[in-house]
Structure 1
Amino acid sequence: MIQPEKTSKYAVVVSLLTLCFIACNGKASEISNHSSNPIVTIERFDKGLPSYVQETDSAQIFLFIDKYTPFFPVYCRHILGLGDAPSFQKGLKMFLSNEAISQLYADTETKFSNDTVWITELQNAFLRYNELFAPQKRPRILTHISGLNQSIVTIDTTLLSVSLDCYLGENYPLYEQRYYNYERNLHESNRIPIDVVEVWLRTLYPYQSQRNALLDRMIYEGKILYCLSQIFPRTNEYVLLGYSDKQAQWCKENEAEIWKQLIGKKHLFNTESMLINKYIEPAPFVSVLHQDAPGRLGRWIGLQIIKAYANEKKKEAIEIIETTDNGGEILSASKYNG
């Protein structure tokens, strides 16, 4: 019997209110890195913050707070835990003067002053989204430094902010203290567009299942991945999941056996949250299945079911994401059998 290892949930989504997104089929559109009218723009809140904490002009202080409302109070109160104060300047000064935070700020600026590929990819993703699902809402996008807190933060269906210090690369020294080995590859800057769109999807289309069985959750995760694959048509499903080539190959070779085990162990309709998390959350392996089964395997199986369902029913991505999270109903209609 394989004993479960300690795992840490990958902090991608911290939806403080609500959020949104949708996906696509069809020819992918692209924009250049120098587009004069990008579909989304990125506002560098993190770059303006150091100047703000030194500001003494009350009018300029008010302008900064107003410019970044409603994110500013959420950042100060909920992300940094600075309590409640009108300007938060004292608490922010202490935060920015911390040695580790100063290093994060410097390293983030160095990294992202030259790394702009993720911006182009994110703009391309929202261009495809806009063309195929217009007139759907797009978020206002900011960047911030969280001190390795949540990677993506959203506020209702209007604003999303990326914690750039969470994307400095899997070999960044401070990550050894913060993330497990199997999580670090999810913290490369090329993950930002994928994570942003995933968060947008999850907020627009939250998980809804009264039964909340493993199969229901797998179906929901499969729907999210399917839509991501439409938004990022050149990115294969294993990259979306953060799988290595070895993990991808194991999934391909063992799909039938995985399905057989899920049925044989009577896990599909199990509603225990601990068991569901073992199949869905990042982990070194799925301890209740096999030591070579990669974490998040339930998400991958959910995607295979949804792909079969989309093919069987000739459904577009927008129709897929709007379907019920009733796993039994979708599974039956998909005719999936491993």
Structure 2
Amino acid sequence: MTNSKYTLNTKLFLWLALCIITLQSCDKGSPCENKPDLSNIDIKLNFIALEDQMMKLSDSSQVDSFAKQHPIIAQEFLNRAEYNSTNDFNVGVSELFSNPHIDTLHQEAKQYVTDVIDLKSELEEAFKMIKYNYPQFEAPTVKTVVSGLGKDLFISDSLIVIGLDYYIGENAKYKPIGLPKYVLKRFQREYIVPSIVLLISNKFNASNLNDKTLLAEMIYYGKSYQFAKEILPCTPDSVILGYTAQDIQGAEENQHIIWANIIENEMLYSTSHVDKGRFINERPKTLEIGPKCPGRIGHFIGWKIIQNYTNESPESLSKMMEHMDAPSMFKKSKYKPS
């Protein structure tokens, strides 16, 4: 009897395990588990880590040579325009990189931010996903720097520069000045690639510049987040939105209250900068809704509308991003939280 019972329990366990594995493997709702095959997508990423080289800029001639090779970095990250002359700039930057404080940032960036090989791999994967959706896409050159918190990111069609020292996070001895805590929380390692992808989305995000309504702005942001989610399907929604997990939960649970406030106060088609600012601008909380409602709540609602739209009107990412008629997308989304 003991052996029979053991055999039965074993069979039951194996059957349950098989069911669980089967269900997991057939989960069509997880975009992370259903990524397209990118094996035939060829991306040649020119990735240049400059932080170690910059730490050796100890005299004016070295700075002058570096600035000529990397003019965007000199302008955007080393604040070239703030100096009266080239000589002043060269001397000032050489003094900057002789300061022990920047060496601290350099070491912390190496310790907490990333192994640049991992960062390169993540960017290559993201760029492959973009090229999968936009075959004409060409990966920009990527450079990483430590500049004494000169800037976080620079992005153009041909160049991305990442200020690694901006993304050290809570462990940083020195943090960007003037940024509130609710913004600073987004300057951590896991936000680098999503931030880049969100900025790249602007290139593909068509909009009607004559439509100045709150709805149009929410739809624009919603399309950007949907773009980022499809390019980075394994990235948590909280990281894409720049919310905490608690923010996401609170916003999800109170969608109907947020939406009712927008509708009852007739703000959906408002063009008032004040009305739009309440729901779009950086704020710690949207107090008009309640003390637990995160800021930028219009971004969240815009993304929910676009998620509904993609469910109701399945189409390619590139096609969705081409739409400029915000009212039409809203109508087709059938968004109405209960």
Cα deviation digits, residues 12-61 of structure 1 (max 9, x gap): xxxxxxxxxxxx999536999xxxx86424312332223344374xxx77
Matched residue, 1:162: 162
Amino acid at match of 1:230: E
Q: Alignment partner of 2:107: what SS?
A: helix
Cα RMSD, aligned residues only: 3.2
Matched residue, 2:94: 93
Matched residue, 2:14: none
- Return 5+ residue gaps in structure 1 as ranges: 1-23
Asked whether the equivalents of residues 152 and 163 of structure 2 are also in contact (C-alpha less than 8 Å), the reply is yes
Matched residue, 2:179: 179
Asked whether the equivalents of residues 25 and 317 of structure 1 are also in contact (C-alpha less than 8 Å), the reply is no
Choose from 19, 28, 35 the match for 2:35.
28
Asked whether the equivalents of residues 57 and 97 of structure 2 are also in contact (C-alpha less than 8 Å), the reply is no
Cα deviation digits, residues 119-151 of structure 1 (max 9, x gap): 322221112222332121221111123433432
User: CA 1:293 to 1:73, structure 2 compared with 1: closer, same or farther past 3 Å?
Assistant: closer
Using the size of structure 1 for normalisation, the TM-score is 0.78
Matched residue, 2:12: none
Matched residue, 2:143: 142
CA distance in 2, matches of 1:332, 1:145: 47
Matched residue, 1:8: none
CA distance in 2, matches of 1:31, 1:312: 27
Q: Percent identity?
A: 22
Counterparts in 2 of 1:162-311, with a 5 A limit? 162-175=162-175, 178-205=178-205, 208-311=208-311
CA distance in 2, matches of 1:39, 1:176: 33
Matched residue, 1:335: 334
Q: Alignment partner of 2:185: what SS?
A: helix
Q: Alignment partner of 1:226: what SS?
A: helix
Q: Alignment partner of 2:56: what SS?
A: helix
Cα deviation digits, residues 37-91 of structure 1 (max 9, x gap): 86424312332223344374xxx7776445424444444446x733452794212
1:329 Cα deviation after fit = 2.5
Matched residue, 1:111: 112
User: CA 1:108 to 1:311, structure 2 compared with 1: closer, same or farther past 3 Å?
Assistant: same
Q: Alignment partner of 2:239: what SS?
A: helix
1:298 Cα deviation after fit = 0.8
Amino acid at match of 1:337: K
> Is residue 68 from structure 1 mapped to residue 70 from structure 2 by the alignment?
yes
1:254 Cα deviation after fit = 1.4
CA distance in 2, matches of 1:140, 1:176: 25
Count how many residue pairs are aligned between Structure 1 and Structure 2: 305
Amino acid at match of 1:129: I
CA distance in 2, matches of 1:26, 1:315: 19
1:240 Cα deviation after fit = 1.1
User: CA 1:169 to 1:180, structure 2 compared with 1: closer, same or farther past 3 Å?
Assistant: same
Asked whether the equivalents of residues 214 and 268 of structure 2 are also in contact (C-alpha less than 8 Å), the reply is yes
1:95 Cα deviation after fit = 2.5
Using the size of structure 2 for normalisation, the TM-score is 0.78
CA distance in 2, matches of 1:73, 1:277: 31
> Is residue 54 from structure 1 mapped to residue 59 from structure 2 by the alignment?
yes
Amino acid at match of 1:169: G
> Is residue 321 from structure 1 mapped to residue 326 from structure 2 by the alignment?
no
CA distance in 1, matches of 2:149, 2:176: 12
CA distance in 1, matches of 2:63, 2:147: 21
CA distance in 2, matches of 1:119, 1:311: 33
Asked whether the equivalents of residues 60 and 94 of structure 2 are also in contact (C-alpha less than 8 Å), the reply is no
Structure whose residues are more often helix by fraction: 2
Q: Alignment partner of 1:187: what SS?
A: coil
CA distance in 1, matches of 2:56, 2:172: 26
- Return 5+ residue gaps in structure 2 as ranges: 1-30
1:232 Cα deviation after fit = 0.9
Q: Mark the structure with the bigger radius of gyration.
A: 2
Q: Alignment partner of 1:141: what SS?
A: strand
Amino acid at match of 1:128: M
Amino acid at match of 2:251: C
1:299 Cα deviation after fit = 0.8
1:216 Cα deviation after fit = 0.9
User: CA 1:108 to 1:330, structure 2 compared with 1: closer, same or farther past 3 Å?
Assistant: same
CA distance in 1, matches of 2:208, 2:148: 32
